[in-house]
Each structure stands twice: as C-alpha cells, then as structure tokens.
Amino acid sequence: MQNILILEDDEDLAEGICLALGGGEFSFMLCQTIEEAEKNLYNRAFDLLILDINLPDGSGLKLCGEIRKSSKIPIVLLTAKDMEMDIVTGLEYGADDYITKPFSLMVLRARIRALLRRNIREQEREYVQAPFSFYFAAMEFYKAGRQVDLSRTEQRILYLLVLNQGRIISRERLLEWVWPDGTEYVEDNALSVGIRRLRDKLEEEPAKPVYIKTVYGKGYVWENPV
C-alpha cells in the first residue's frame, strides 16, 4: 500500500481526491495546514504528496521547495490559479506536476498513478546508501563522493547485487543476468574476475570484503552494515 499525504484546506475537495484515488491500494493522510503537514512528514514516510498552494498558514510552494532540498518524493501542486507564471514557479520549486482547479478527478488519478509508476522505476535504477551513490540510468557511481569508473560487466553485476541487498544471488543467476545472450561462450572465471574488480574499486580491503561477500557453495550477497 502506498502512502499519500494531501495538504488541502478544502475538506470536501480533499475527501473527493481520496475517493477518486480509492481502491485499497492507497493510504491517505489529510492535512489542512502546513504545520500539520510538516509534523506528519517528520513522523511518517510517504510515496507522494499533493499540496495546495494557498493555505491558512502559508504557501504550499515554499513547503515544496523545502521538501525538495532533501527528497525526490513526487509532488503534485493544486491551485485555483492558472497563470503561466504560476505554473513555471511551481515547477521551479521542484513540483513534478501542477494541476489547476477545477480539475477532473479522473485526470488527477491518472496523473498521480503515472507519477507513482515513474518513481518506482527511478528508485529501481539507483542505490543511495552511505558511503555509496549508484545511478545506473546515468551510469554514474560514487563512493564517499568520489566517482568510480565501472565497466559494463561490473555495472550489471553490481546492479543485481545491490537491488537484492541482503539476498544471496547464485552464480548461475548472475551469469544469466550479466550475459543474457548465453553463457556457453563465457569463460569460467569471467564472473569471478568481475567480482574481484568490483571489490578492488569498492572495498577498503578487497581481500576482506565488507560489501560484496561470498557465500560459499551458494553465491554472492551485497551487505551494507552502515
């Protein structure tokens, strides 16, 4: 179930949004003020935010900008304004979408579902956990803020391991993933070489790996003790 925070001082509209998005796959937190929203954002994790711009205690735009400084969570802004400059301002503050009132609840539902699907795909293409930041779509990899150059083979090995953190991945599965066109022409030690090179680039002591561990007789596992 995905959690959605709705910051909207029009109670009827907020409840209408909940009904439009209903179906058992979403859980909603309704807030009428920025103060209330900030408390919930501090205490809970959400998958998407729907923020009204004009609120009793301030602007949803500023809240959007503050959230965007530290989070990539999808944000949809709602407002009665339809001036082009207001739309540009909302996007500059980091909003992912901007919907003017009145709007079709069916259209809102479709756009929110699209944002959630896109966010899931983006999360699957990156791994950010200290001291690492791996951005597979951009093919950029960092350790403690320093860029690490990885070959295509190393990238594919790393992707399968980190996206299954804590799970043992067998050599057979890794071979099929890294060389999907067939492993019959792949040298027996190709995977071992790829693992060794990854350790050389990512581990402090490659001979005593902390992150890429061998589980003898089973395969490999990515662990991050931080």
Q: Is it the case that residue 50 has pLDDT exceeding 90?
A: yes
Cα(133)–Cα(151) distance, integer angstroms: 16
More reliable by pLDDT, 208 or 44: 208
pLDDT beyond 70 at 120: no
Residue 104 DSSP class: -
What span, in angstroms and rounded, lies between the C-alpha atoms of 204 and 106?
52
pLDDT tier for residue 37 given thresholds of 50, 70 and 90? very high
**Phi, psi torsion values for 200, nearest 5 degrees:** -60, -35
- Any idea which of 7-16, 64-73, 128-137, 150-159 has the lowest mean pLDDT? 64-73
Whether the per-residue pLDDT at 124 is higher than 70: the answer is: no
What's the mean pLDDT in 200-217? 95
**Which stretch of 39-48, 85-94, 113-122, 208-217 has the lowest confidence by average pLDDT?**
113-122
The per-residue pLDDT for range 131-151, each reduced to its tens digit, is 999 988 788 999 999 999 999
Q: Which fold has domain 2-124?
A: Rossmann fold (3.40.50)
Residue extent(s) of CATH 1.10.10.10 domains in the chain: 126-222
**Residue 188: CA count within 13 A, CB half-sphere:** 0
- CA angle, corner 42, sides to 39 and 46, nearest 5? 105
Highest mean pLDDT range out of 107-116, 153-162, 182-191? 153-162
The CATH number of the domain covering residues in 126-222 = 1.10.10.10
Angle value at C-alpha 213, between 211 and 217, nearest 5 degrees: 165
Please give the pLDDT value at position 45. Answer: 77
| Residue 93: predicted pLDDT | 84
- For residue 65, is pLDDT > 80? yes
The model's pTM: 0.55
Mean pLDDT within 159-172: 88
Q: Structure tokens of 7?
A: 């910051």
**Between vectors from CA 141 to CA 135 and to CA 146, what angle results, nearest 5°?**
135
The pLDDT score that the predictor gives to residue 122 is 56
Q: Where in the chain is the domain with CATH 3.40.50.2300?
A: 2-124
User: In terms of pLDDT, which residue wins out, 143 or 113?
Assistant: 143
Q: Residue 5 above 80 pLDDT?
A: yes
